[in-house]
Chains A and B, each alone.
Chain A
Amino acid sequence: MEKKRLYIELENCIGCRSCLAACTQCGGHEQKNRNYVYDVNPLVNRQTMPLMCLHCVDPACARSCPAQAIQIHETGAVLSALTEKCIGCQNCTIACPYGIPKFDEEENLMYKCDLCIDRTKDGIPPMCASVCPSNTLQWLTEEEIAEKQQMHDLGNDKWVTSMPYLEGETNVKVNLPGILQGTTKLF
């Protein structure tokens, strides 16, 4: 089974929030979604962008956890806190450079995107990527991501996936908006 990654093409997002709804329906998610969709310039236009856990190679949340409750799966996914270990200190929410982990005060428990580990460990795309109607969220092999990278690389330092635009190496690859690069997409 070839290793696939979540790949986010930000400017495709149409703000339908299907990914949020789908997230609630994943086996291990207890009907609570773990991803976000933001208006880029809410008072002016309708452009939206999704934001979700980027699954850092060296995750700050796990580093800051006093209870070692945040485990990293062999696929590279950074998992939700183990229910029996999480002590509810919320260090992870402060440490995460992207503000991803959510905290349930009632249950005294942190929860976050686990890349639908019950699906992705068997090579099935995560819920959000399965339902995304605009190809914002894609589930791609390394070669396909390399191809995308080439396609969007304009050689003017304005491109594309992830580093150096993020705070560290991540397992999820993000493609910065083509709009900034002056490319127009045909759907």
Chain B
Amino acid sequence: MEETNVKVSKNSINNAFASHFAKSMFLAVSGIVILSFIGTRMFTHVDLNLYGYMVGTIVFLGGFFYRFIAWGERPPTKIIIKKGIKLLFRKSTPKTSAEHLATYRFIWNRGIYRWTQHVLIGWGCIVSCFVTFPLVFGWMYFTMAESGYYTIVFMGINLMTVPADGIIAFFSYNALNFSAISVIIGVCMALYRRLKNMQARADQNFLYDFMPLYLLLIISVTGLILTFMNVFLHGAGHYAMSLIHQYSVIVTLIYLPFGKLAHIPFRPLSVFARNYREHYGEKSMKECKVCGTGFVSTEQSNDVIDVLGKNDMEFNMKDGFNLAELCLPCRRKYRIARFSGFETHKVPVKEANQNAKG
């Protein structure tokens, strides 16, 4: 993919791989195997009860790399990723990341209801991933050397020994139950909004908007039923239910890179975008070729012209500018000028208020 414009040295490690995809897959699987080798003390503590999830994760990685490498090859995406990585160590990155990826401030501004449902679903999923995957790959497990005391082993290191009926143990056993409850509440809120809110109803469809919610609901409900069966039914039906639960998780995992849930792994790009705008905005602003106000960074204006050029779009006007070099009001006035024959954009009058109050 890169061969055309990047000179690859003869002994580059990239030559060992047939494609970008092959390399990513190899590195990811090797990484997991090495981590598991360390975490499980040389494969002596593998929980084979969870091997279905292991296979599911590997299949998921295949789909994930396929989807995201293809996506990263698009000209605009490539630019944002490349420059985003370069600007990753800006001072504002931790704050931006926290606001975009942890507290979802921008969703708060879209509505408190939507924020609540998103926090419940999002953090429920994050917590369950942080519990599930270490267990699946043996990065974390529990041993009981002394009766009544669990030792939590993390990456092969005895992290701490806790009483089996203590508070830490309680939260460890029940982390997935709590996250399931959180996801169920969040999903129900989301479903209610999708059924009642006219705005949501305007452009939703079953496969894209509802199915991911139902998948999360099935995972959480079957997970909770599993707990219920073990606690109240003495484990009756455990095996059938654990298989159902496992299937639901694996199907969701494999589907994840291809539908609405794809925004989870790809959302960090919004931090890249913010850094990109802030950094190049501080460097130099592009001045509108008509009115002279700085409206976007010079870098971004050039990048957009470049990207459009790759798509065979050239908006160079006879008046001696590219349309991406005009600020938005001037660009709109320029269009009116093209319609009417009178040079509206040259009249030094600020555009009238264009925002109607609903």
Contacts and interface: CB of A to CB of B under 8 A. Distances in A.
Contact of A27 (B80, B81, B201, B358): B201
B326 A28 contact: no
A106 B109 CA distance: 6
B63 interface: no
Given A91-B307, A94-B304, A99-B328, A66 B356 contact: no
B240 interface: no
B199 A90 contact: no
A93 B338 contact: no
B193 to A, nearest CB: 12
Nearest to A108: B106
A27 B199 contact: yes
Interface stretch (B4-12, B53-61, B346-354): B346-354
* Chain A interface helix/strand/loop/mixed: loop
Contacts of A83: 110
Nearest to B71: A68
B74 to A, nearest CB: 7
A95 B106 CA distance: 24
Interface string B198-230: 110111000000000000000000000000000
Size category of the binding interface on chain A? 35 or more
B76 A66 contact: yes
Interface string B297-310: 00011011001100
Contacts of A100: 332
Contacts of B260: 84
Given A84-B260, A85-B263, A95-B324, A38 B332 contact: yes
B356 A89 contact: no
Could you say which of B311, B335, B341, B351 has the most chain A C-beta atoms within 10 Å of its C-beta?
B335
Contacts of B80: 66, 87, 89
A41 interface: yes
Given A38-B336, A90-B300, 15 more contacts: A30-B199, A42-B344, A42-B347, A42-B349, A63-B311, A66-B80, A84-B263, A87-B273, A95-B307, A95-B324, A97-B315, A99-B335, A107-B109, A117-B203, A177-B339
8 contacts: A10-B339, A63-B308, A88-B273, A99-B328, A99-B330, A108-B270, A114-B203, A165-B339
